[in-house]
Structure 1
């Protein structure tokens, strides 16, 4: 078996790679709705060049809920092919249907992903026991490492500490994407979980506070727009330079706040389109930003690079 044919999760044994600013990559579309694979490959390579440890595809920013199985498989294969073991590919494989989550995790497993990120079942409001059983069923039916995703604002249910501790007893549960904005949870759970377990912030607006509290990284939409700045903030926070990290965070915060207030895919795609990184097309039920939100994004980008007029007039 050649090196390129070995599944990534079979090559990298440790969880040590799961850290840093990890892009929640958008899925670019042509104006007719087809996936723009050339731009997608370019976005993957851009994160490689920025020194990222991993990327997430087909998740929140990637509009994974709108992708067909064929599209999902194509994206994974493209990302793995571009990465060539230079970074790890994490695939959004969560669903509120346990059987569907298992199927998507198997798909990620068979196409060379390093891990799957699996969200708490949404809409059907399961009990804590139901949530635990959902994840145990995925673990029992697959072999891929799993990153838990706790997003109570989207799912109407959260992962309790007891469920996280129970699931983390499996060596294949390697981390948590935490969208609760509660850095205290990190310090509360750190000593109760395996040393290899990784804590990742899920929101850009709370990224710095999470990192300064000891978080291992951030699954970030903003890093798609400003990868070097985001990595600089991460490095400064982790190496004990909070004032420098705060200076960078203050530059990024206007856009991070917009990402918290509006649809992530619509915001990040519009921001990236202004930098010449694809267009702003999204799939229904998501809609493009209206003019008011576009002006807000332009002003936020101006806090990083240029004046609003310059942001509008050219790809930065």
Structure 2
């Protein structure tokens, strides 16, 4: 089972915009050393929107190679066109990934019936487990519990990453989707509470910069130790805010660069570098979370 502390891994890039594979290998080694339970490669935090399909698949394949079977790798396979998502899913099937994570189609705002049809069509072209990803704040569409329940009946749709921040949905999702359907938080600020209420883990942005701390919090929450989990969560709460002071992954890439884990926090346009007026805020949050800043 995939569970626990899962990193939505950034995709390191060089100044010319090409993928920095040396830094990617270093990041994979860092997360395995720090105890991260699984890696999402080229999800939305990995800038999937600006990587063409061939490069997207290449980065996932290299991530799988660097991981070498030590922890699960989940590939982002989302798109706002169903045909594009199907094509990407077929291409990713040869990389050796353990599962795929598909974000809801963005901008075009499909109906609930459209969302169900979209994800069923993707799941039908592969045997690889599929995880749904609902993040209405970024996509403009909300995959509701009833539609999720319908999709949970598909044999290889195994879970949901819920980034609504609405922890109150968890009991309804669990009741509708059953005990074996995996429920992951996609909202770092409420992830601790989500797991204490019965969630299976979190696919996290913050995990990029505080993997050991985040892993310890997740382990405590999944064990039902609320006092310890909240104690471990408290120093990271500043990160939950500061890492979203500008659009993700702008702040987190800058933070990982300040840790010396990548050569530079380059992004592809239309994303730009973190504004100078946010540097102090992010550094202070990192220090409070006991992260060494260069």
Deviates more, 1:68-77 or 1:129-138: 68-77
Pairs within 5 Å for 1:6-25: 16=1, 18-25=2-9
- From 261, 268, 291, the equivalent of 1:283 is 268
Q: Is the counterpart of residue 32 in structure 1 residue 16 in structure 2?
A: yes
Query: What RMSD over aligned residues (CA atoms) do the two structures have, in Å?
Result: 1.4
- 1:182-225, CA deviations, whole angstroms, 9 ceiling, x for partnerless residues? 11211112132232211000011111111111111000011111
Q: Is the counterpart of residue 267 in structure 1 residue 245 in structure 2?
A: no
Pairs within 5 Å for 1:138-149: 138-149=122-133
1:259 positional shift: 2.7
The equivalent residue for 1:53 is: 37
Pairs within 5 Å for 1:1-316: 16=1, 18-278=2-262, 279-305=264-290, 311=293, 314=294
The equivalent residue for 1:12 is: none
Q: Which has the higher contact order (CA 8 A, sep 6+)?
A: 2
1:235 positional shift: 1.2
Structure 1 unmatched ranges of 5 or more: 1-15
TM-score normalised by the chain length of structure 2? 0.96
CA distance in 1, matches of 2:58, 2:125: 23
CA distance in 2, matches of 1:110, 1:59: 17
CA distance in 2, matches of 1:233, 1:285: 34
CA distance in 2, matches of 1:143, 1:73: 18
Does structure 2 retain, via aligned residues, the 8 Å contact 1:102–1:142?
A: no
SS at match of 2:177: coil
CA distance in 1, matches of 2:145, 2:224: 29
SS at match of 2:69: coil
SS at match of 1:199: strand
CA distance in 1, matches of 2:97, 2:224: 33
SS at match of 1:191: helix
Does structure 1 retain, via aligned residues, the 8 Å contact 2:129–2:158?
A: yes
1:90 positional shift: 0.5
SS at match of 1:131: helix
CA distance in 1, matches of 2:277, 2:106: 30
1:143 positional shift: 2.3
CA distance in 1, matches of 2:177, 2:115: 19
CA distance in 2, matches of 1:50, 1:105: 30
CA distance in 2, matches of 1:158, 1:23: 23
1:84 positional shift: 1.5
The equivalent residue for 1:9 is: none
Does structure 1 retain, via aligned residues, the 8 Å contact 2:205–2:252?
A: yes
Runs of 4+ in structure 1 deviating by more than 6 angstroms, as ranges, are none
Deviates more, 1:254-263 or 1:177-186: 254-263
SS at match of 1:130: helix
